[in-house]
Amino acid sequence: MLNIITALNAPTTPPPALTVNYLVVAGGGGGGQLGGGGGAGGMRCTVDGTGGSGGLETALSLSVATNYSIKVGAGGAAGTSGGGGVVGVTSIFSTITSTGGGGGAGDSAGPGGNGGSGGGGGNATDGGSASPSGQGFAGGNKSAPGASGGAGGGGAAAVGSNSNSGTDVNGGNGGAGRATSISGSSTTYAGGGGGGARKDAGGSPVRTGGTAGAGNAGDGGASNGVAVAGTINRGGGGGGGSAGPTYNAAAAGGSGIVILKYPDIYSATFSGGVTQTTASAGGFKTSIVTAAGVSDTVSWA
């Protein structure tokens, strides 16, 4: 009888706290036509690397049986008719918001757009800023007043390169993205798009678009071709369009992503609009969310 009573009164070990590490990357901005590369989507992460020059984000302490908002932002559309690219869409997890990347400036538009990382400057304009700060870097600026190529969009880890001045020039390079191993393998996200080349005279030699920043952004357009779009679910900016001497198409930014890592004693339930995969390793589960609507949720039990 004593053994039974002792067993009943023995202390129990509480479950581990529901502490959730996260990566939240917004959609990258679209490239401008004959202009700057799109800025990378804002990157906020608690593991290995995050956007901007500050320290890592802080993991969230959450409650079971509670719905938390989740959304993966789409990439911004490319600029057309000499216009600037469209800002990327915000990504959200609970209280964490990552801001969409700024659109690249166009030939006939204003400066590069502000965003998680700023869009690159255009023909005679400067790049956008990283706003709010701490999610990425600014886009590159024009090198001199007057005709020039497109500047690179800002990335999670670096400012975009300035444009090259003149009417027969290459585009500026996009700013580098940043790597994190939250998914289980190191992956680089949120690179800035390359700026478009400018060649008013056309013909040879071909001028090259700016190189995309590491992080699956898009290359800027060469003087005889179209730009490259950002890779889906990486948050990179789209490449800026070129002229050689007619306009060549700019490219869209890549969509963002949300990754959640939490103790494997818990199970996550996502609402119906979410596309995700969940895997277990080393005492943790990792849920990778690649598509979500505006009002989707996740909860734990």
Asked if residue 198 lies in contact with residue 148, where contact means CB atoms within 8 angstroms, the answer is: yes
**Predicted pLDDT at 17:** 83
Residue 168: inside a domain: yes
Asked if residue 29 lies in contact with residue 113, where contact means CB atoms within 8 angstroms, the answer is: yes
**Predicted pLDDT at 11:** 54
Low-confidence ranges of the chain (pLDDT < 70): 1-16, 145-146
- Which parts of the chain fold into alpha helices (H)? 2-9
Q: What is the pTM of this model?
A: 0.94
**Predicted pLDDT at 290:** 97
CA 214 to chain centre: 11
Residue 117: inside a domain: yes
- Closest Cα partner for 138 from 123, 124, 151? 151
- Closest Cα partner for 220 from 207, 232, 234? 207
Q: Give the integer Cα–Cα distance in Å for 206 and 223.
A: 6
Residue 13: inside a domain: no
Residue 1: inside a domain: no
Q: What are phi and psi of 7, to 5 degrees?
A: -65, -40
**Predicted pLDDT at 61:** 98
Residue 109: inside a domain: yes
Single-letter amino acid code for the residue at 161: S
* pLDDT tens digits, one per residue of 93-103: 999 999 999 99
**Based on the structure, what is the number of domains in the chain?**
1
Q: Which residue has the tokens 């006939």?
A: 108
**Predicted pLDDT at 258:** 98
Q: Which residue has the tokens 């060549």?
A: 248
Residue 12: inside a domain: no
Q: Indicate if the alpha-carbon torsion angle 94, 191, 251, 289 is positive or negative.
A: negative
**Predicted pLDDT at 253:** 98
Residue 15: inside a domain: no
Domain that holds residue 125: 21-292
Q: What are phi and psi of 278, to 5 degrees?
A: -130, 135
* pLDDT tens digits, one per residue of 276-298: 999 999 999 999 999 987 889 99
Query: What are the Cα distances from residue 261, in Å, to 30, 59, 246?
Result: 30, 10, 48
**Predicted pLDDT at 5:** 44
Residue 58 contacts by C-beta under 8 Å, 6 or more apart in sequence? 46
Provide the greatest CA pair distance for the chain: 98
